[in-house]
């Protein structure tokens, strides 16, 4: 399951269903060095409990106060904070940028209904990409998920870019499926990488036919597969929001998974091993019929070059390289 901080609509829905009033705050526009991107969300309960973030802490206090007021009067509101504003200075926005935040009381007045949030949560749980559309002029809302919706072309573009924003009068909040990571090899590096990846928003799975390695005790709360790596990775079905990492050093385990990964649209494929080890891997893949262009998708030796030594440092290097590949596609190998 995704980390709690990625379950913002779900938190608001749970509070509303439990009889606690709740509000959703969403970053809808940013300028300059705003600390959080468009689409970032914060759920607030009537008891001022919070899940998520809209500014990394700069204006959360002011947003919570506005959310509590919205729960009382039933009126959604658009808030704007900038470093040059006296109000922004008083609430601590010192990053030099400006942000615009939409605050919506759930199930109150002109806010979204719990049923709409439930529909959104169901789509997210089923890994269906969906766009939450809201028009501040009149406060109309709907989910955009089918081609017959007039907003569909803009929604498809927003989902592909993984970027929320305005399309005319409508704010399109992107809800893509969670990022995923398949880790082949339940080794000591994997034990550090899996929790780091989860914190970064990935839904990780560990693949290793050696049950003593891929155990619940070593990877608590993690999806484990003891099938042979090619079968396990085929069942995982890497897509464009998936990273594949192989860590065993053993060709009979790594190679079958790499071959499946190379035939998939996974955005990242990384393999542990020295340049000499990777050179031998390249020769085996060529012998198996893979082209140089296909093999060039592999990041090996794996990880950003930060001089990592310990398992935790290697995991940091891997996650850094995965992140760079995801966020800077032009730099992909």
The answer on 108 and 134 residing in a single domain is yes
The answer on 183 and 65 residing in a single domain is no
- Residue-wise pLDDT for 127-181, tens only, equals 889 999 999 999 999 999 899 999 999 999 999 888 999 999 999 999 998 899 9
The answer on 216 and 163 residing in a single domain is no
In the sheet where 223-225 sits, what is the strand order? 223-225, 202-207, 179-184, 242-246, 268-271, 298-299
State the residue range of the domain holding 245.
Answer: 179-331
Q: Cα–Cα distance between 253 and 69 in angstroms, integer?
A: 57
- Residue-wise pLDDT for 223-238, tens only, equals 999 999 999 999 999 9
Give me Rg for the CA atoms of the chain. 22
Amino acid 5: pLDDT: 57
The answer on 289 and 203 residing in a single domain is yes
Residue with tokens 């390289």: 321
Q: Cα–Cα distance between 203 and 126 in angstroms, integer?
A: 13
Phi-psi domain of 303 (left: phi exceeds 0; alpha: psi -120 through 50; beta: other):
left
The answer on 324 and 294 residing in a single domain is yes
83, pLDDT greater than 60: no
The answer on 149 and 215 residing in a single domain is no
Boundary of a domain, candidates 140, 175, 210:
175
Number of structural domains, the chain? 2
The answer on 127 and 273 residing in a single domain is no
Q: Helix or strand or coil: residue 10? A: helix
The answer on 243 and 320 residing in a single domain is yes
The answer on 53 and 29 residing in a single domain is yes
The answer on 108 and 186 residing in a single domain is no
CA angle 42, 128, 136 (to 5 degrees): 45
Cis peptide preceding 301, ω within 30 of 0 = yes
Q: Cα–Cα distance between 301 and 318 in angstroms, integer?
A: 10
Boundary of a domain, candidates 159, 175, 191:
175
Amino acid 213: pLDDT: 96
Amino acid 88: pLDDT: 47
**Per residue in 193-208, is it b (16+ CB within 10 Å) or e — as a string?**
bbbbbbebebbbbbbb
The answer on 183 and 170 residing in a single domain is no
Domain CATH code at residue 325 = 3.40.50.720
The answer on 227 and 94 residing in a single domain is no
89, pLDDT greater than 60: no
Q: Is the pTM of this model over 0.95?
A: no
Q: Cα–Cα distance between 59 and 44 in angstroms, integer?
A: 13
């Amino acid at each position: 399951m995704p980390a709690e901080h990625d379950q913002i609509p779900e938190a608001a829905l749970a509070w509303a269903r439990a009889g606690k009033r709740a509000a959703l705050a969403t970053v809808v526009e940013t300028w300059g060095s705003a600390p959080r991107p468009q689409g970032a969300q914060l759920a607030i309960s009537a008891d001022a409990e919070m899940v998520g973030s809209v500014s990394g802490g700069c204006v959360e206090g002011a947003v919570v106060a506005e959310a509590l007021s919205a729960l009382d009067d039933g009126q959604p509101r658009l808030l704007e904070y900038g470093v040059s504003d006296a109000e922004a200075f008083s609430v601590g926005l010192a990053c030099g940028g400006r942000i615009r935040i939409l605050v919506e009381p759930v199930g109150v007045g002109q806010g979204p209904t719990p049923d709409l949030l439930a529909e959104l949560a169901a789509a997210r749980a089923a890994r269906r990409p969906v766009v939450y559309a809201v028009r501040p002029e009149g406060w109309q809302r709907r989910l955009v998920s089918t081609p017959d919706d007039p907003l569909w072309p803009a929604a498809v573009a927003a989902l592909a870019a993984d970027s929320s924003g305005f399309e005319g009068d409508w704010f399109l909040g992107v809800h893509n499926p969670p990022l995923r990571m398949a880790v082949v090899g339940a080794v000591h590096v994997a034990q550090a990488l899996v929790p780091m990846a989860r914190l970064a928003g990935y839904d990780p799975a560990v693949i290793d036919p050696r049950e003593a390695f891929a155990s619940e005790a070593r990877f608590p709360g993690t999806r484990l597969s003891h099938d042979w790596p090619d079968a396990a990775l085929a069942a995982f079905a890497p897509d464009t929001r998936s990273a594949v990492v192989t860590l065993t050093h053993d060709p009979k385990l790594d190679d079958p998974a790499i071959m499946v990964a190379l035939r998939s649209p996974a955005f990242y494929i990384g393999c542990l091993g020295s340049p000499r080890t990777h050179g031998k891997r390249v020769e085996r893949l060529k012998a198996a019929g893979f082209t140089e262009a296909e093999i060039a998708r592999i990041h090996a030796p794996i990880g950003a070059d930060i001089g990592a030594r310990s398992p935790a440092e290697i995991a940091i290097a891997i996650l850094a390289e995965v992140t760079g590949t995801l966020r800077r596609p032009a730099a992909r190998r």
